[in-house]
C-alpha cells in the first residue's frame, strides 16, 4: 500500500465570493480521488520564523498518484483557474508517513497540527534527537504525519528543504508538548541546528 500524500495549500484570498465558488466545486472533486480535508483555516499561529500566507488548507490523499490525478484532471482545470483568479498561493504535494492505527481511530476530538518547513545547518544532532524525542512524543499522543524532503511544488515556491507535520489529539496536548519541559531540550537542540518556519493550527473534528 502506498504512503499517503498531503496537499498543502497556502494562499492569500483577494476575492472571497469567487473563492467560495471554487470551494463548492473543488471539494466534491477531491473527494472523488479520496481526498480528505484535515484543516482549512486563516487562524494560524506562527511558532517560529515566518509564514507568508494568510490561509492554509491541508488535504490528505491515500497516495501521491491520487493527489496528482486530482490536480491534473481535466475537470479540475477550470476550477483551478477560478482559484487562481481569486487568490495567490503556494501548493506543495508532500509524501507522508504510513498511517498508524491511532490515526485510523474514531476520535471525535478536534486535532491540532504543527506544520514546519526546515533547512538543516548541521546534521550531527539528528541521532540524539531521534533517540530522545519519541518518549516525549508518545506521552502527548504526537503522530508524525510528514517527516522528510520528498515533495513536489505544484504552484508558487517553497524555500526550505524538508517538511514535518505533527498531529496531536487536542490544542491542550499541543501546548503541553511543544512548550513543556519534556520536549524542551530536544526542541532547543533542533532549533540550534536548523532554519525553519513553523505554524500551528486546529484541524476539523474527525
pLDDT tens digits along 129-157? 999 999 999 999 999 999 999 999 999 99
Domain total of the chain? 1
Query: Looking at the predicted structure, is the pLDDT value of residue 206 above 70?
Result: no
- CATH of residue 16's domain is 3.30.70.100
With 0-12 / 13-18 / 19 or more C-beta atoms within 10 angstroms meaning exposed / middle / buried, residue 129 is middle
Q: What is the dihedral of CA 65, 160, 49, 97, to 10 degrees?
A: 40
Cβ partners under 8 Å of residue 101, min gap 6: none
Percentage of the chain modeled with pLDDT above 90: 90
Q: What pLDDT, on a 0 to 100 scale, did the predictor assign at position 52?
A: 87
Domain of 79, in residue numbers:
5-101+110-202
Amino acid at each position: 500500500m502506498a504512503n499517503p500524500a498531503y496537499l498543502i495549500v497556502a494562499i492569500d484570498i483577494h476575492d472571497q465570493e469567487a473563492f467560495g465558488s471554487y470551494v463548492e466545486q473543488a471539494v466534491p472533486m477531491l473527494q472523488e480521488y479520496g481526498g480528505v480535508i484535515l484543516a482549512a483555516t486563516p487562524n494560524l499561529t506562527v511558532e517560529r520564523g515566518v509564514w507568508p500566507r494568510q490561509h492554509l488548507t491541508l488535504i490528505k490523499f491515500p497516495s501521491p498518484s491520487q493527489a496528482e490525478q486530482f490536480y491534473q484532471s481535466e475537470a479540475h482545470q477550470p476550477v483551478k483557474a477560478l482559484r487562481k483568479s481569486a487568490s495567490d498561493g503556494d501548493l506543495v504535494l508532500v509524501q507522508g508517513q504510513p498511517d498508524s492505527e491511532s490515526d485510523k481511530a474514531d476520535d471525535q476530538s478536534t486535532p491540532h497540527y504543527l506544520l514546519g518547513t526546515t533547512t538543516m545547518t548541521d546534521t550531527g544532532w539528528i541521532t540524539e534527537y531521534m533517540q530522545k524525542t519519541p518518549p516525549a512524543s508518545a506521552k502527548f499522543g504526537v503522530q508524525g504525519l510528514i517527516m522528510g524532503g520528498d515533495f513536489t511544488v505544484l504552484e508558487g515556491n517553497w524555500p526550505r528543504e524538508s517538511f514535518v507535520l505533527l498531529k496531536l489529539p487536542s490544542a491542550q496536548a499541543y501546548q503541553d508538548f511543544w512548550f513543556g519541559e519534556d520536549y524542551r531540550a530536544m526542541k532547543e537542540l533542533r532549533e540550534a541546528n536548523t532554519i525553519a518556519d513553523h505554524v500551528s493550527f486546529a484541524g476539523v473534528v474527525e
